[in-house]
A and B are shown apart, each in its own frame.
Chain A
Amino acid sequence: MEQSARNGLIAVIPVALLLLSGFALPLIFIIFTGLMPPRSFGLLEDPTLANYRTILEEGYWRPIMWSLGFAIATTLVSLALAWPIAKALVIHAGRFASVISILIAVPVFIAESVRLFGAHLFLMPKGGILAGTVNALLGIDIGSILFSPLATLVGMIYIYLPFAIFPMTLGLSQVPPEQVEAAKDLGASGWQTVRNVELPIALPGILIGGLLVFVLALGATAEAAILGGQSVVVAVQSIEQRFNYAQDWPLGSALATVLCAITALVVFPLMRRLDIDRLFRR
């Protein structure tokens, strides 16, 4: 209806303006800055691809690779850990699910740095919570995984696991229990039922959860800083260093642009397939 189209176009203006000025605009700036000569300031110089060459030739691609690797690992592990939990929440929907959901959600609203700080304290060798308790109880000195890539990975999984759990739960809740029963009745084994009935229906939720974890982990820096120490430099840390210490905004922007490109590569194909109305209307 005409009226509807007009109303829609008017209604979208505030949010559209916000996103254009607060999201699109900064991105454009960053992309442009990435094309400026190294160590320059402002946007009035001649564009050049020098920064991208630097990334390839001088090893600045390493932090990006680390972040990519962490992101993939975090995503896969989180999804695997989340699956039984999501199933439990859907099957035992009700009091159990409500309580567990709240328990999982509350830490999300506690600042990331605070939680990672706690993890740091937990994992500290000698005087840390874990090491100290074990030492006091069993007299053993267990060392620590702190200040290693593993610690960083563990930190990421810890922080982003809830972001895998909730969308996956949503996806699984779309599976009608009768279909699972019908499959079993027709002779499918547990694994076959999962593969042929549950996964296809729950897939949008799973993909959204996986995508969310991936993107968030890609841009994560606190875990590497608080738990990984000097052992690994992730992409955003490298970018920050370019901005703060090296005063090389163009190189930092180029690195950031690469990160954006990776994100876009992963996000856009999924977006294309998503039918928002069908997802929400159930």
Chain B
Amino acid sequence: MEPRSVIVGRIVWTVLIVGLLYLPIISIVLASLANTRFIRFPHRVWSIDAYREALGLGLTYDLQWTSLKVAICVAFLAVIFAIPGALAFARYSWPGRSVFQKSLLLPIFFPQSVLGLAALVTMSAVGISPSWQTAVFMHLVWVVPIATLIVSIRLYGFDVAQEEAAFDLGATRLQSFLAVTLPQMMPGIVSGALFAFLLSWANLPLSAYTSGADSTLPEWLYSRMSTNYAPMVPAVSVLSIIASVLVVMIFQLIRLWWRRHIEAGSD
């Protein structure tokens, strides 16, 4: 057994670091609770006027809407790609498989800004103008590998004999897949969709170059932070934080509900 001081020290360290992770977020909340042109903390006058303004601003909703549109499309399309991708990654043996496995990781281990820029260059060379649709496409390039990995993890634990058994019992190959393999991939698919959604929602670098005139929320914040500051900027930020956290919580609840009612005990 390790000395008690080491164990306690580690836990204290962990709690400390995690707390530090939240300092900036707390800072934004604190900064939003005033209505002065410049930040002066502690505030003389605490108010939630900034929120009133933020909520009344149509722009806020537009920005959230674009982020939402893109994120939903990405989540949906990512799993459509991830399902066959995971089958190729983890289920079947085929020539070139290990090359594929390693290549799939490349977009993850890659500077996103460079990818965004490269996309911009390509689009202009080919003659496509950036829009929220191109943003969806570029998000997918980065997100699909991650979603594929998540679904693959489920597949690695899957007893392939089940598919053979289904076939032996009278199912066609397609029926075997739909009745046996796909349902057991479902938890991974749901997780993959969730990750895809959240990663897209919070993304800046790729969006910056590829969404063109349809600005996403992170982009707008980024531009307002450096110039033209107003208290409603942190207020809008806080609202987007709340939205993110809500989305995470909703999906966690969906997953819990899914486990309890659909999986009935497995996992």
Contact = CB atoms under 8 A, between A and B. Distances in A.
Interface of A: 1, 4-16, 18-19, 22-23, 25-27, 29-30, 33, 42-43, 81, 84-85, 87-89, 91-92, 96, 100, 103-104, 106-122, 124, 126-129, 131-133, 136, 158, 161-162, 190, 211-212, 215-216, 218-222, 225-226, 236, 239-240, 243, 249, 252-253, 256, 259-260, 263, 267, 271, 274, 276-277, 280-281
Given A29-B118, A114-B221, A115-B25, A219 B205 contact: yes
Contacts, number: 284
Q: How large is the interface on B (under 10, 10 to 19, 20 to 34, 35 or more residues)?
A: 35 or more
Contacts of B121: 26, 29-30, 33, 249, 253
Contact of B13 (A15, A43, A85, A274): A85
Given A11-B88, A112-B202, A263-B109, A133 B42 contact: yes
Given A104-B21, A277-B101, A277-B156, 18 more contacts: A4-B92, A11-B87, A12-B85, A19-B107, A22-B137, A23-B115, A88-B10, A103-B18, A113-B204, A113-B218, A114-B28, A121-B24, A121-B27, A158-B24, A212-B108, A216-B112, A222-B204, A239-B114
A7 B181 CA distance: 14
Nearest to A276: B101
Interface string B213-226: 00001100110011
Contacts of A263: 109-111
18 contacts: A8-B91, A15-B88, A18-B141, A18-B144, A19-B106, A30-B118, A85-B13, A106-B245, A113-B222, A118-B26, A121-B28, A121-B30, A121-B41, A129-B31, A190-B2, A212-B109, A222-B204, A240-B117
B27 to A, nearest CB: 4
Contacts of A112: 202, 204, 218
A117 B221 contact: yes
What is the predominant secondary structure among interface residues of chain A facing chain B?
helix
B198 to A, nearest CB: 4
B31 A218 contact: no
Given A88-B14, A280-B152, A121 B39 contact: yes
A165 B30 CA distance: 28
Given A19-B104, A119-B24, A222 B222 contact: yes
Contact of A118 (B27, B42, B101, B104): B27
Given A23-B107, A259-B111, A7 B92 contact: yes
A226 B199 CA distance: 21
Given A85-B14, A118-B28, A222-B222, A5 B111 contact: no
A226 B225 CA distance: 8
Contacts of A111: 201-204, 217-218, 221, 240, 244
A119 B92 CA distance: 47
